[in-house]
Structure formats: structure tokens, C-alpha cells
Structure 1
Amino acid sequence: MFILILSTMMIPTEMLVIPWYVLSSELSWIDTYWGIMFPGIIEAFGVFLMRQFMSGVPNDMLDAARIDGMGEFKIGGKLRCHK
């Protein structure tokens, strides 16, 4: 799955502009902040950076957060904010 996500980085951004515009148009996001932010929110490079960061966090710290009742998304958010 990770290889598949990274392989999308080989697609030139110019090829994705029209599908992003069509999607923004269908969702009525033209001239809104969502229309600007959406293409950058879910990018292969962002997924790659988060994976690399999370692989460097000690497992003991992740286990302690899980024992404290944090979910996976909350663990990632807290680690990103406090490091």
C-alpha cells in the first residue's frame, strides 16, 4: 500500500489540476478555503513524511499513549505538536 501511495508522486501535478477543479466544482468549493486546501491535505509526500516520523518514535511512547486511552489519530497529533 505504501509503495502504491509513493508511486503517485510520479504523476505530474499539472495532470491533477483539472480533476481537482472538477471535484471542487462538484462539491461547491470554488472560491472557498476548502477548494484551496484540499489538494494539499492528502498528498503522497505528506503521507511519506508522517510515516517516516512515526517510525522514529519509540514503541514504548506509543504503547503508553494507547494505555492512556488515546486513539491512533490523537497519538499522531500529540506527538507532532510536542516534539
Structure 2
Amino acid sequence: MLFAAAWNEMKHHPGSFSLLGNNCSTHASLAFNKAGVLPSAIPGIDTPDNLYHQLIAIREGQFRSFSGFLGFTPEPGGFSIDML
């Protein structure tokens, strides 16, 4: 409920946007802060990667997180998916 309220507030009053420092990660972090999920702003530069690592660290041991990339290799009749 608090997370959704934070997003709704930003929807009506989005403020400024900047690539470094006031971006989508910053706004997501603000919503997590207002919802009580995260205790502070993103450590370091506001990037999706730093936000992800902050979320993982704050909930360490409470769940498992898997991340990575998918690659696609062309094959006759379609493609195969490679987990990287």
C-alpha cells in the first residue's frame, strides 16, 4: 500500500529527471524507502544494478536471487536459448 502510494504521488508530481542521480532507479528507491523496505538511498551512483544489490543485501538469507542473461543462437527452423 505504501509503495503504491509513493508511485501515485510521483505520478502526479514527477519532478525532474536526470540520467545520473535522479533517474528511474532513484524513483524506485524512493518508493522502497517510503514503504519501509529500504532504510536509505541507493549507495553509490543511482543505477538499477546498485539498487538490485541493495535490495539483495537488505534481505540476505530470506530468499534466493538468480540473475543473468539469455542468449539466442540461430538454428535451422528457429533458434536455441543459451543461459549465460
> Normalised by the size of structure 2, how large is the TM-score?
0.27
Structure whose residues are more often strand by fraction:
2
> Normalised by the size of structure 1, how large is the TM-score?
0.28
Structure whose residues are more often helix by fraction:
1
